[in-house]
Amino acid sequence: MIVVTGPSGAGKGTLIRQLLVRVPALAVAISATTRSRRVGEEHGREYWFLEEVEFAQRVAAGEFLEHVTYVSGHRYGTLRSEIARIAAAGGVCVLELETEGALNVKEQIPGAVTIFISAPIPELERRLRDRATESAGEIGERIDLARLQLDQAAQFDHIVLNDEVERAAGELTGIVQRAIRG
């Protein structure tokens, strides 16, 4: 299992998309969330969009490998069924998680390869503003959280600085290919 983590705006999704092209054996587990769908998102493609009640029921039933409540108050988590789906297809599972969830997985799954994607705070803020999916207040909260998350980077197996996408994607690809080869 490959776990990619880091603060909002670090470029986790961008680097993972590059990684999937370069390492076809990988498949991303689709996370579940209680947040509302954004324009263009589809249930089961970007996320499994769940009502709070259903999310809580699934937590109680032990259906999640990990789950967290993010700064917005929305819940996010990885369904065990997603991991099983990828394993059944013979793929290597990639999880894109915030740092709290990634640390939870690291504790639970011995041998999971954890990779922290980092970027300078001014760059994180610029990226968050450019994508225009959060309010100014939410961006401020995410930047405050990013500062704390950057302090946690040393707890992960690898750190990739995403200061230039192509270079960072190459570094991430190398880490993952070495992990898969064992």
**Residue boundaries of the structural domains of the chain:** 2-181
Residue range 2-181 in CATH 3.40.50.2000: no
pLDDT given for residue 51 in this prediction: 97
Predicted model pTM: 0.87
CB atoms within 10 A of CB 154: 8
The answer to whether 109 touches 16, Cβ cutoff 8 Å, is: no
The answer to whether 23 touches 180, Cβ cutoff 8 Å, is: yes
pLDDT band (50, 70, 90) for residue 133? low
Question: What is the average per-residue pLDDT within 38-55?
Answer: 96
137-172: per-residue pLDDT in tens?
676 777 777 778 888 999 999 999 998 999 999 999
pLDDT given for residue 136 in this prediction: 63
65-117: per-residue pLDDT in tens?
999 997 678 999 999 999 999 999 999 999 999 899 999 999 999 999 999 99
pLDDT given for residue 137 in this prediction: 67
The answer to whether 55 touches 74, Cβ cutoff 8 Å, is: no
Backbone angles phi, psi at 7, to 5 degrees: -70, 160
Share above pLDDT 90 across residues of the chain, in percent, rounded to a whole number? 75
Tokens linked to 176: 């993952």
Q: What is the DSSP string of 104-126?
A: HHHHHSTT-EEEEEE--HHHHHH
pLDDT given for residue 102 in this prediction: 96
pLDDT given for residue 1 in this prediction: 97
